[in-house]
């Protein structure tokens, strides 16, 4: 490959190139960059003319890079990283005036616990900041964080990839919930009764994020799932109005039980311990706005843990 003449290349065009390469989709790249799709297409046209190469060709619902684009991406990303480091060194985040949207994935429990205090904090101190909650499925959380289309994930997702940073938030342990006065459950829920009851559970794509199915299958065989949901937040209301039972994270169940008339039972099957994690890309670690978001979420989790311990200590 010959020497690339960058004298007439707008830096913003290279940022567009990086975003399209990362997402494999012009619409997704436009969303990541807060640009219109025509603006991204126009930028690609200029890049194609400059490098005399298509750079990206259509593939399925997106695009894939040409050989020339594959040869360019690593040195280009290294150059952009060095440039960003220089700008970020003196960058600040003004809560009162900066306008920014953070795109995050939150499991249902953490959304219930963390979003109310975070949104109250934003309303009071950061009126131009907004949060966009994204589904953990069907999008790939790891891929979206690497691509830059997702700023942060709060999940038990056992993901790993170069460049990802993990910080443990809190443990996740499971219990079983039923409606109060369930006709087939006595003072304790034994294993035989549990396995004989119809259950509600998340769809397989979401269940794969936890150890519940694996442990149940290994220790007592498959359970009878009568209803599968795509969001765990749907489960408490259904359990409260039927004879179905469900296995839920303890703290989530404790919060939902009074509202939906739920009875909490110790799990008759030992479920492997898991933790909730904050997950982000290392390039965001020193970003002042991103750091503020992480610290605010962690502070909210610490307050919740303190309140939960205080509640448990009350007679």
- Output the pLDDT for position 4: 53
Residue 2 domain-assigned (yes or no) = no
Q: How confident is the model at residue 242 (pLDDT cuts 50, 70, 90)?
A: very high
- Output the pLDDT for position 78: 81
Q: How confident is the model at residue 230 (pLDDT cuts 50, 70, 90)?
A: confident
In this predicted model, what pLDDT tens digit does every residue of 152-207 receive, in sequence order?
Answer: 999 887 566 778 899 988 888 999 999 999 999 988 999 999 999 999 999 888 78
Domains in the chain: how many in total? Answer: 3
What is the DSSP track for 138-171?
SS-HHHHHHHTS--EEEE------TTEEEEEEEE
In this predicted model, what pLDDT tens digit does every residue of 108-149 receive, in sequence order?
Answer: 888 888 898 899 999 999 999 999 998 766 457 887 887 777
Residue 4 domain-assigned (yes or no) = no
Determine the structural domain holding residue 70 and report its residue range. Answer: 11-88
CATH number at residue 242: 3.40.190.10
Are both 16 and 81 inside the same structural domain? Answer: yes
Q: How confident is the model at residue 284 (pLDDT cuts 50, 70, 90)?
A: confident
């Amino acid at each position: 490959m010959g020497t690339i003449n960058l004298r007439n290349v707008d830096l913003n065009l290279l940022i567009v190139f990086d975003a399209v390469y990362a997402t494999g989709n012009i619409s997704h790249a436009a969303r990541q960059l807060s640009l219109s799709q025509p603006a991204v297409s126009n930028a690609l046209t200029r890049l194609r003319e400059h490098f005399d190469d298509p750079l990206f060709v259509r593939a399925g619902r997106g695009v894939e890079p040409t050989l020339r684009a594959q040869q360019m991406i690593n040195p280009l990303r290294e150059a952009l990283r060095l440039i960003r480091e220089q700008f970020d060194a003196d960058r600040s985040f003004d809560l009162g005036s900066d306008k920014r949207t953070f795109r995050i994935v939150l499991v249902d429990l953490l959304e219930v616990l963390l979003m109310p205090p975070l949104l109250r904090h934003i309303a009071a101190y950061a009126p131009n900041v907004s949060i966009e909650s994204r589904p953990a499925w069907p999008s790939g959380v790891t891929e979206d964080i690497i691509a830059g289309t997702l700023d942060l994930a709060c999940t038990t997702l056992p993901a790993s990839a170069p460049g990802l940073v993990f910080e443990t938030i809190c443990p996740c342990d499971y219990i079983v919930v039923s409606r109060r006065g369930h006709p087939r459950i006595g003072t304790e829920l034994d294993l035989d009764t549990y396995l004989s009851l119809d259950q509600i559970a998340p769809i397989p794509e979401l269940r794969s994020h936890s150890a519940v199915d694996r442990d149940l299958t290994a220790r007592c065989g498959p359970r009878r799932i009568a209803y599968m949901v795509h969001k765990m937040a749907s489960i408490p209301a259904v359990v409260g109005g039927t004879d179905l039972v469900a296995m839920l994270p303890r703290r989530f169940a404790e919060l939902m039980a009074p509202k939906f008339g739920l009875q909490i039972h110790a799990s008759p099957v030992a479920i492997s311990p898991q933790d909730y994690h904050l997950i982000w890309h290392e390039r965001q670690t020193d970003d002042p706005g991103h750091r503020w978001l992480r610290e605010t979420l962690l502070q909210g989790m610490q307050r919740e843990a303190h309140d939960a311990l205080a509640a448990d200590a009350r007679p």
